[in-house]
Amino acid sequence: MWEFGTDPEFQEKLDWMAAFVRDECEPLDLLFPHPGDPYDVHNKASRTILEPLREKVKEQGLWACHLGPELGGQGFGQLKLALMNEILGRSGWAPTVFGTAAPDTGNAEILALYGTDEQKARYLQPLLDGAIVSSFSMTEPQAGADPKEFVCRATRDGDAWVIEGEKWFSSNARFASFLIAMVVTDPDAKPHERMSMFIVATEAPGIEIIRNVATMNEREDLDEGTHAYIRYNRVRVPLDAMLGAPGEGFKVAQSRLGGGRVHHAMRVVGKCQRAFDMMCERALSRRTQGKLLAEHQFVQGFIADSAIQLAQFRLLVLQTAWIIDNQPHGAARTHIAMCKVALASVLHDILQRAVHLHGSLGTTQETPLGPWWSYAPQLALADGPTEVHKAAVAKGMLRGYQPAPGLFPTEHIPTRRAAARARYAAVLEEYGL
């Protein structure tokens, strides 16, 4: 039975979230607008406002709902989480307010699965409480996101591992209390068995932030960069700093990526919906050539294309979440890649139309459209380039097909007609056909 409704009790929670994000989280976006602000635990002003909001979220039972009850969450399935993240995507601060900010969510899941009791006490619990933030240190300057090209490595030295090499674009490392680093431990092993995962305290001797790289939404001259270029200069970590077994870096990484990509996609849905709302309001507010923008067919085309594109993408993401919840592990792999491919283009297209309808105002910092639009290229690269995911989609689809059994395609009309005539030869002969 197909069902597109939401349980009334959970819908009440979503309605509360929608009002709360609009009234309480979006003002934080205006007061503390830089991309790194939600992660700066040392900003006393923002934290003074933030903490009471977090308490209200916890009172509603909506804190860190991706985690199980044993970790203080609700253990919601991916479909519920997707609907929640659609709302959270309207505000840059909302994930921090609700305890679902990346990369902390995925790092918490890794620590819950692979961390020692001591590591959980030192890092996981403060992370779950929102007292600290973390960083996922994976990509490298010469390799991007391709682990087969990684050269940052860890070697065993007595009762410790020694990490040497560089990592690129480690998000929020400047604010983080710890890094989870994916490095080579066996360069001669099979590609997917070369890497291991380590937890590394950011105050460890040898952690050197070469620079904090500013993206399109950040100013280098104001030191707003939030993605660190890091050198691991013979950083020593204890043997139990390895998360998982040697060579299980890929396995550990995959435990954090699938659901996170779905959440990310639904946050894009929320951002696109907000841009669409702005587009429609603008179309009904401004006039040109003697009539409302909304009365011009070109503008109507913008609105129609955006509504259709957004509805299609939203349904794809919700279907993906449903598959994760209801089918065997790994069944949603291709759908997750489809979401990742689509999200950047959907965000780009809808935001570009919204910018155009706002005219010169849309290109300024006086609406959120410009900063959002410039974020689209980054989304096309985050969690792996779009092209890589397109290849994964194609491979996943092709697994369900076989080569044509004969010389011609299975839909070859002369071949099929001959087969049909052979099947009904007696009838055709009887009627002289």
**Structural domain contains residue 174:** yes
264 lies in the same domain as 389: yes
For the residues 338-343, what does the mean pLDDT come to?
A: 94
Residues 6 or more apart whose Cβ sits within 8 Å of residue 430? none
For the residues 340-351, what does the mean pLDDT come to?
A: 94
Are 57 and 125 in contact, with CB atoms under 8 Å apart?
A: no
Q: Which CA distances in Å does 402 have to 142, 398, 405, 410, 413?
A: 38, 8, 8, 10, 19
For the residues 45-74, what does the mean pLDDT come to?
A: 93
| Backbone conformation region of residue 259, classed left if phi is above 0, alpha if psi is from -120 to 50, else beta | alpha
- Residue 155's DSSP bridge partners are 162
What predicted TM-score, i.e. pTM, was given to this entire model?
A: 0.91
3-state SS record for 164-190: EEEEEEEECCCCCCEEEEEEECCCCCC
Task: Say how far apart CA 402 and CA 382 lie, in whole Å.
Answer: 33
**Structural domain contains residue 113:** no
269 lies in the same domain as 377: yes
- pLDDT (0 to 100) of residue 1: 55
370 lies in the same domain as 260: yes
DSSP state of 213: E
Q: Report the domain count for the chain.
A: 4
Single residue among 230, 247, 264 that ends a domain in this structure: 247
For the residues 343-352, what does the mean pLDDT come to?
A: 95
For residue 59, the domain's CATH number is 1.10.540.10
For the residues 41-65, what does the mean pLDDT come to?
A: 96
- pLDDT (0 to 100) of residue 381: 84
16 lies in the same domain as 93: yes
392 lies in the same domain as 423: no
Tokens coding 174: 């400047």
**Structural domain contains residue 22:** yes
The closest alpha carbon to 35, from 183, 256, 218, 162, belongs to 218
Look at residue 219 and tell me whether its pLDDT is greater than 90: no
Range of the domain at 345: 251-398
Q: At 258, is the pLDDT very low, low, confident or very high (cuts 50, 70, 90)?
A: low
**Structural domain contains residue 2:** no
**Structural domain contains residue 203:** yes
Look at residue 257 and tell me whether its pLDDT is greater than 70: no
68-77, 91-100, 170-179, 313-322: least confidently modelled range: 68-77
Single residue among 101, 126, 154 that ends a domain in this structure: 101
288 lies in the same domain as 369: yes
**Structural domain contains residue 369:** yes
**Structural domain contains residue 126:** no
The closest alpha carbon to 383, from 257, 294, 271, belongs to 257
* Total residues belonging to the chain: 433
Task: Say how far apart CA 182 and CA 205 lie, in whole Å.
Answer: 18
Tokens 């431990």 correspond to what residue? 185
The overall average pLDDT reported for the chain is 94
